[in-house]
Amino acid sequence: MDEASNFARWLEFSGVIQLLQAHSADVPLRVDGYDLANKLRELIQECGDWYSIHSRSNKPRDAYVSQSKLEQIEQRLAAIEYNLGLSRINSKEAEAIRVA
């Protein structure tokens, strides 16, 4: 809910909606900035309604990641870092061969 509401608010306040409204068209692709603005307002309202009904949604939650899952993530990141290092070495060797 937070992400949807935040994105909708960003679209409203960033000027994207005003840009789409100024350039509404049906052809070749339908662009209806006014309809999108209405849908965004409805989405923001629905998110607010959901939060007012669901009291537990307002309570902070613990972000728990198990130790084994954390270790898997660290192993994958280490593998990515290692492979990126290899690709840098290989590109430098290939560049040295081209120069010579």
- Span 18-37, mean pLDDT? 89
96 in the Ramachandran plot: left (φ > 0), alpha (ψ -120 to 50) or beta?
alpha
Decide: pTM greater than 0.85: no
Digit-coded pLDDT (tens) for 30-72: 889 999 999 999 999 998 888 777 766 556 666 777 888 889 9
3 pLDDT above the threshold of 90: no
On the CB side of 39, CA atoms within 13 Å amount to: 9
Place 100 in a pLDDT band, splitting at 50, 70 and 90: very low
Share of the chain above pLDDT 90, in %: 26
